[in-house]
Amino acid sequence: MSMLNVENLSVHYGIIQAVKDVSFEVNEGEVVSLIGANGAGKTSILRTISGLVRPSSGKIEFLGSEIQKIASRKIVASGLSQVPEGRHVFSGLTVLENLEMGAFLNNNRDENKANLKRVFERFPRLEERKNQDAATLSGGEQQMLAMGRALMSQPKLLLLDEPSMGLAPIFIQEIFDIIQDIQKQGTTVLLIEQNAQKALSIANRGYVLETGKVVLSGTGEELLASDEVRKAYLGG
């Protein structure tokens, strides 16, 4: 069943067109990867889906309802949550306070307590550091915190923007293991990544973007085996 359906999406920043008539879908239970170089339009697509940017044209359906014109707060409440590029944890707040920010739309204390328990089970390092200022965490730990914060809202669809950016290799593998675990636990994932090898190795399906357009699509395995992808992104 299609959870997210993007049709003929275009995005402009003034006279500059960042996204050009892009269409793709994410089915329930999938990991879908969007790959491409810097400037390909990947982050613009995610920000538009999240309601942070308004499209110039096109349609975005989430769980059967159009969301391209509604407020980002309502989009989060409907079951969609984004982990932004660069993590953006709240410095000056503890790890625990950052996680609590992810549950700001839910007034049910019992649910929030249960969600926090699940986050700490998935990220035990965060529980160890729950009273520590978030800004003092390592890059990998901050990425875990940003993902945990997004999961506090119990999203049906999790949007991940460059989760491996700037991380040491040991943390990169851990982050991708966590993404697979999140999928196995029932959360659908839309993943944006420059690390095409890692992204496609865990993706059910993928789309390749160049200068704001989808130029190739297929299963993760098909794209990894593609001559175009190997030459452009895998050093083949």
**pLDDT tens, 56-98?**
999 999 999 999 999 998 999 899 999 988 778 889 999 999 9
Q: Is 69 exposed, middle or buried (0-12, 13-18, 19+ CB in 10 A)?
A: exposed
Give the pLDDT of residue 130: 95
**Tens-digit pLDDT profile for residues 45-55:** 999 999 999 99
Architecture of domain 2-233: 3-Layer(aba) Sandwich (3.40)
Q: Which sign, positive or negative, has the C-alpha torsion 77, 72, 66, 42?
A: negative
Q: Residue 107 — very low, low, confident or very high, per pLDDT cuts 50/70/90?
A: confident
Strands 205-210 and 213-219: antiparallel
Report whether pLDDT(234) > 80: no
Tell me: pLDDT of 236 over 60: no
pTM as predicted? 0.92
Q: Which candidate, 36, 7, 60, places its Cα nearest to that of 211?
A: 36
CA distances from 108 to 103, 122, 162 (A): 9, 21, 31
> Under a CB-based contact definition with an 8 Å cutoff, are residues 209 and 42 in contact?
yes
Residue 157 has pLDDT above 60, yes or no: yes
Kindly state the percentage of the chain with pLDDT values over 70.
Answer: 99
Residue extents of the structural domains in the chain: 2-233
What pLDDT was estimated at residue 235? Answer: 60
Whole-number percent of the chain with pLDDT over 90: 71
Which class for 217: exposed (0-12), middle (13-18), buried (19 or more C-beta within 10 A)? middle
Tens digit of each residue's pLDDT (9 = 90 or more) over 186-221: 999 999 988 889 999 999 999 999 999 999 999 999
Tokens read off for 145? 């915190």
Highest mean pLDDT among 3-7, 169-173, 193-197: 3-7
